[in-house]
């Protein structure tokens, strides 16, 4: 059974009980009032009859057509009793009168019936009337209700009192009008009670709907939250009612659930990301080991071949011996460079802190350009910088970045290809651009150029002695210095590598230096 039904039943039961109690109280009070009024009427009527009844004179009763003595009419009389010959024509006796001895014998001529619809009725009285109590000095009186002496007759309200001679005077008033009034009241009460219950149920339904509206809103909110919308909140939390307090409590609970669920989702996302990074790291490690093994196998195979030649007698011929030793030296140097690069990448991957001190990046770039011109004079390089630029980092590692980028120009462009190195400021960063006029590269190649052991032309790269780790080392060093490196290239339009590093915190205002660096093609 729903809460709404239970509330309506409770309202209906309370209304019925309250109205029934009110009806009973009203009915009882009116009945008591009407009985008291009848008793008062009998009290007033008693004063006029007592004198005549106590003398033993014959009572004259008023019938529906005429006034006649009680003994001649067989007991018919009227409402006004007095001496013989008194009366009101055309009046009807509405009160029954009877005088009897204490033993219950009715005195002759001392009885008058009450007429109801022109029919005489008398109360059915017991032979002996008990319970007479002292009312006035020398008088005892009692009131009670008696039925009619005829079937279908009215009930009577009876007043019995003692006379001075010891006889009992009985006055009886029919209660037909009283019961008619009470029946009419009962009908009205039933109609009013039914209408009131109907109004109470309709009004109760309306009030219950209004009262339960916040609960329906809570139900709607709960359905929305169950559907996955954890940002929903219960309305009415600012109201100072029981529902308002419940709404505040639920909203606090929902906020905590949302926070816990968000934390759980974030934890799951971090866990999935960690798993992806772990899988990627494992895949990268396997690929790295495979690539390193492949790269090391080449010089080892070459050294093994030279050793086999040596065992077969190449040492007896001076021409072959020199060529053999030169090949071993070349492959050993190549393997040494590869192992050194692998060790450097391993240290960078471990996140070992690098030496941090103020470095003049312009000086580092200028030295790298001088070295590049000395090592590869067939690749002219120009250098441009307007003023010294200070960065925080390791000078040796930054120099290696520049050497690798310039070495990449010599490795992947034909002789005679010009290159340019430019250092300039961009807000709180310094930008070093290494551009060449070589054949450029495809966009797909640009996406993979910083991957370890990646070669766009493996045969040519090995011919030049490359290991495929130069640009990977550049990326790792830039990451350790909180910098970035990028590449832009198009086939036939050359390639530009861009390095960005954060500037050192300013210590003193820099002054432009207009001096010119010595050396061919280098100016500042």
In three-state form (DSSP H/G/I as H, E/B as E, the rest C), the secondary structure along 508-519 is CCCCCCCCCCCC
Nearest Cα to 82, choosing from 99, 71, 65, 69? 69
Sign of the CA dihedral running 75, 77, 79, 83: negative
Domain boundaries, the chain: 3-181, 233-352, 355-502
Predicted local distance difference test score (pLDDT) of residue 28 = 93
Nearest Cα to 487, choosing from 473, 471, 504? 471
Q: Which two tokens stand for residue 51?
A: 């004198």
Q: What is the DSSP letter of 165?
A: T
Q: What is the model's pTM?
A: 0.45
Predicted local distance difference test score (pLDDT) of residue 420 = 93
Pick the CATH number of 233-352 from 1.10.3090.10, 1.10.1040.10, 1.10.287.130, 2.70.50.30: 1.10.287.130
Q: Which long-range contacts (CB under 8 A, 24 or more apart) does 245-248 make?
A: 246/218, 247/214, 247/218
Q: Which two tokens stand for residue 400?
A: 């290696």
**What are the backbone angles phi and psi of residue 125, rounded to the nearest 5°?**
-100, 150
Could you tell me if 189 and 26 are in contact, meaning their C-beta atoms sit under 8 angstroms apart?
yes
Predicted local distance difference test score (pLDDT) of residue 79 = 40
> Cα–Cα distance between 506 and 162 in angstroms, integer?
131
Q: What is the DSSP letter of 341?
A: H
> Cα–Cα distance between 407 and 460 in angstroms, integer?
14
pLDDT in tens, the chain (524 residues): 777 788 888 888 888 899 899 999 999 999 999 999 998 888 888 877 877 766 666 666 776 654 444 433 333 333 444 433 344 333 467 888 888 888 878 887 778 888 888 888 888 888 788 777 656 555 688 889 899 888 888 899 999 888 877 888 889 999 888 888 999 999 998 999 999 888 888 888 888 877 777 777 777 888 887 777 777 777 777 777 777 788 888 888 888 888 888 888 899 999 998 888 888 777 766 766 666 666 667 677 777 777 777 766 655 666 666 777 777 777 787 677 667 767 766 666 666 666 788 999 999 999 999 998 988 889 999 999 988 899 998 888 888 889 889 988 888 889 999 999 999 998 889 999 999 998 888 777 777 787 766 666 544 444 444 566 778 788 888 888 889 998 888 888 889 999 999 988 765 444 444 433 433 344 43
Q: For the domain bounded by 355-502, which CATH number is listed?
A: 3.30.565.10
First-to-last C-alpha distance (Å) of the chain = 92
Could you tell me if 433 and 496 are in contact, meaning their C-beta atoms sit under 8 angstroms apart?
yes
Helix (DSSP H) and strand (DSSP E) numbers for the chain? 10, 17
pLDDT in tens, 47-75: 778 777 666 666 667 766 544 444 333 33
Predicted local distance difference test score (pLDDT) of residue 470 = 75
Q: Which two tokens stand for residue 508?
A: 């003193």
Q: What three-state secondary structure class fits 250?
A: helix
Nearest Cα to 395, choosing from 367, 431, 429? 367
> Cα–Cα distance between 428 and 392 in angstroms, integer?
13
């Amino acid at each position: 059974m729903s809460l709404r039904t239970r509330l309506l039943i409770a309202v209906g039961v309370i209304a019925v009980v309250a109205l029934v109690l009110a009806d009973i109280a009203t009915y009882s009070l009116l009945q008591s009032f009407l009985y008291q009024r009848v008793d008062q009427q009998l009290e007033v009527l008693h004063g006029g009859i007592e004198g005549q009844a106590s003398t033993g004179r014959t009572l004259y009763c008023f019938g529906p057509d005429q006034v006649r003595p009680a003994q001649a009419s067989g007991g018919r009389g009227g409402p006004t009793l007095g001496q013989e010959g008194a009366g009101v024509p055309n009046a009807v006796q509405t009160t029954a009168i009877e005088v009897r001895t204490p033993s219950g014998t009715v005195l002759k001529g001392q009885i008058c019936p009450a007429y109801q619809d022109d029919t005489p009725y008398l109360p059915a009285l017991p032979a002996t009337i008990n319970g007479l109590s002292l009312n006035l000095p020398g008088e005892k009186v009692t009131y009670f209700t008696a039925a009619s002496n005829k079937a279908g007759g009215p009930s009577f309200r009876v007043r019995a009192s003692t006379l001075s001679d010891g006889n009992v005077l009985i006055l009886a008033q029919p209660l037909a009008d009283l019961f008619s009034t009470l029946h009419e009241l009962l009908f009205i009460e039933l109609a009013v009670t039914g209408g009131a219950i109907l109004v109470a149920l309709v009004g109760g339904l309306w009030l219950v709907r209004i009262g339960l509206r916040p609960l329906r809103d809570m139900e709607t909110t709960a359905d929305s939250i169950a559907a996955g919308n954890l940002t929903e909140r219960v309305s009415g939390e600012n109201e100072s009612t029981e529902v308002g307090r419940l709404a505040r409590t639920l909203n606090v609970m929902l906020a905590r659930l949302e926070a816990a669920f968000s934390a759980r989702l974030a934890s799951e996302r971090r866990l999935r990301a960690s798993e992806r990074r772990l899988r990627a790291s494992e895949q990268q490690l396997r690929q790295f080991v495979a690539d390193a093994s492949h790269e090391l196998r080449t010089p080892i195979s070459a050294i093994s071949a030279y050793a086999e030649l040596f065992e077969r007698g190449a040492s007896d011929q001076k021409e072959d011996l020199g060529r053999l030793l030169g090949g071993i030296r070349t492959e050993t140097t190549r393997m040494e460079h590869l192992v050194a690069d692998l060790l450097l990448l391993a240290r960078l991957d471990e996140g070992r802190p690098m030496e941090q001190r103020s470095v003049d990046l312009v000086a580092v770039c200028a030295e790298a350009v001088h070295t590049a011109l000395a090592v590869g004079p067939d690749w002219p390089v120009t250098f441009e910088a307007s003023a010294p630029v200070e960065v925080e980092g390791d000078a040796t590692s930054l120099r290696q970045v520049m050497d690798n980028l310039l070495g990449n120009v010599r490795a992947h462009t034909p002789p005679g290809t010009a290159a340019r190195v430019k250092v300039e400021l961009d807000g709180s960063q310094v930008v070093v651009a290494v551009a060449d006029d070589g054949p450029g590269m495809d966009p797909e190649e640009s996406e993979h150029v910083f991957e370890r052991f990646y070669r766009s032309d493996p045969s040519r790269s090995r011919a030049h002695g490359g290991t495929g780790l130069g640009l990977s080392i550049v990326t790792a060093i830039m990451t350790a210095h909180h910098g970035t490196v990028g590449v832009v290239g198009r086939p036939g339009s050359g390639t530009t590598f861009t390095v960005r590093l954060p500037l050192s915190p300013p210590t003193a205002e820099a002054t432009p230096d207009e001096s010119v660096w010595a050396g061919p093609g280098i100016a500042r």
